[in-house]
Amino acid sequence: MRAVINRMLWLLPALIAGPLAAQAPLTLGQALERAERSGYANRIAAGQSAAQGGQALAPYRGILPTLRVESGYLRTTDPLSAFGFTLRQRAVTPAAFAPARLNDPNATGNLMTGVVVEQPIFNADAWLGRAAAANASKATRAAERWTRSGTAVDVVRAYWGAVLAHDQVRTLRAALDAAHSHVRQAESMGTQGLATRSDALLASVKSGEVESMLLSAESQARLAQHGLAVLMGDPADTAFTLPDSLPVAAAVTAIAARAAAAADAPGIRADVEAAGLAREAANADARRATALYLPHLNGFGRIDWNTPNTPFGGKSAWTLGVMLSWSPFAGGSELAEIRSAKGRRDAARAMSEAAAAQAGLELSRATDAVELALARLEIAGRSVAQSREAHRIVGRKYEGGLATVTELFDAAAVETASELGEVAARYAVIVALAEKRRAEGRDLGPLVDLTSE
């Protein structure tokens, strides 16, 4: 019995640790990892990148050798074919030259088996097409990286947005408790003849407004949690918990300062890189189209076996050859291809320039957004302190009969609004920092540390 009890005591920490681990809040790093692995946009981009990578192998058809095995069976009474089958099978005898047999042969069958090797020697359009396809594949991979960075920013926005929603719910619950307290105070003062019945009625109305706001906030919190689950690629998993509140203002400003002073230089944005690679692919494709006017030189070799009914039977015969083909005019198809390729090249060049210009604009916008968000956070912090003090003063005045219940609820509403605004300002700084990091071509590493602040 004592051994069983001792074993249970040993297992107790593990039994307790399991539920505690399950209830541990989901960190931002974990959310980013799950979205990176299972997010819908990332998986779509990965599939498109893999498909384009497969297309990059297509031009090798005009570069690498081809090995092919052929086999076919024919049976005929055609004089020329029947004698040819006999000759290929090396079965010709003097009797085969008898005029009657030559003119009216019996049905003769032939099983042909061959191994064919085709080796491209000079196909300029294939080599240039290979360069175009390779750059197109690289462009798709860069576009995939840009999609993944966008997903990461969306996760930051959704993760802290869900926390913000829960934070707003908590703030409104506190505001509702305060409103109920004010209602009870108004009713008590009305009973004592220190306030009118209208004060209690107005207090109830204002309390109902706060309760309505709370219901809306609770709905938004549930939707925010569901939205985060969708971003992580598992919409059915909404049972995870989140941090109780957003990082405090000091932690947010500290992260902003560290991110601004980071030693890592801005990188090349993946979308700009993708546009540049697409331009290079279009340039190579235009050269490929021009190369269609050049001749093609290809070699081939084959070994054939011909027997009445046995694959690879009898004596083999080999054939080697080289073929030069040139089409100086093919109904204008080359001209159409060249014009189309040049049009795509011009469009790709413009898109590359536009991507670089747009990147510069987005970086300027993101930089200004961070500065503006930090300034608003500082103002919101002062507003919270001022509104709390104002609410306290109006509450004392109401107790002394120097303020109306409307003024009291107005002061409470201002305090609640300032608290909600301060929380939203912290959220705005975090999102602005994430967007700036992406605009700079950097990862979101510094922001992951916010979970533990």
Domain boundaries, given as residue ranges, for the chain:
32-452
Check residue 266 and report its DSSP letter. Answer: P
pTM of the entire structure?
0.78
pLDDT value at residue 262: 65
How do the residues of the chain divide into helix, strand and coil, expressed in percent and rounded to 5?
A: 70, 10, 20
> Can you tell me the distance from the alpha carbon of 446 to that of 432, in angstroms, rounded to the nearest whole number?
13
Residue 148 burial (CB count, 10 A): 18
**Structure tokens, 10:** 């040993």
Q: Return the closest-CA partner of residue 423 out of 259, 252, 255.
A: 252
The b/e string for 396-433 (b: 16+ C-beta within 10 A; e otherwise) is eebeeeebbbeebbbbbbbbbebbbbbbbbbbbbbbbb
Q: Return the closest-CA partner of residue 67 out of 304, 375, 300.
A: 300
3-state DSSP assignment of residue 98: coil
Beta-bridge partners for 319? 302
CATH placement of domain 32-452: 1.20.1600.10
Q: Return the closest-CA partner of residue 118 out of 319, 296, 317, 298.
A: 298
Which residues, other chains included, contact 161 with Cβ-Cβ below 8 Å and sequence gap of 6+?
A: 224, 227, 228, 427
Q: Which amino acid is at 139?
A: A
Torsion of CA 141, 145, 147, 149, to 10 degrees: 180
Which residues, other chains included, contact 350 with Cβ-Cβ below 8 Å and sequence gap of 6+?
A: none
**Structure tokens, 305:** 């076996």
pLDDT per residue as tens, the chain (453 positions): 444 334 433 433 433 334 434 458 888 888 989 999 999 999 999 999 999 888 888 888 888 999 999 999 999 999 999 899 888 988 888 888 888 888 899 999 999 999 999 999 999 888 888 999 999 999 999 999 999 999 999 999 899 888 888 877 776 677 677 666 666 666 665 566 545 556 566 667 666 777 787 787 778 878 888 888 998 888 888 888 888 888 888 888 888 888 777 655 667 899 999 999 999 999 999 998 888 888 999 999 999 999 998 888 888 999 999 999 988 777 677 788 889 989 999 999 999 999 999 999 999 999 999 999 999 989 988 888 888 888 788 878 867 777 776 677 677 778 877 888 888 898 899 999 999 989 988 888 778 877 644
Cite the beta strand spans of 283-360 per DSSP E.
296-307, 316-325
Check residue 248 and report its DSSP letter. Answer: P
pLDDT value at residue 164: 81
pLDDT value at residue 371: 92
> Can you tell me the distance from the alpha carbon of 42 to that of 144, in angstroms, rounded to the nearest whole number?
7
Q: Return the closest-CA partner of residue 199 out of 182, 224, 216, 211.
A: 182
The b/e string for 30-47 (b: 16+ C-beta within 10 A; e otherwise) is bbbebbeeebebbeebee
> Can you tell me the distance from the alpha carbon of 120 to that of 219, in angstroms, rounded to the nearest whole number?
66
Q: Which amino acid is at 352?
A: S
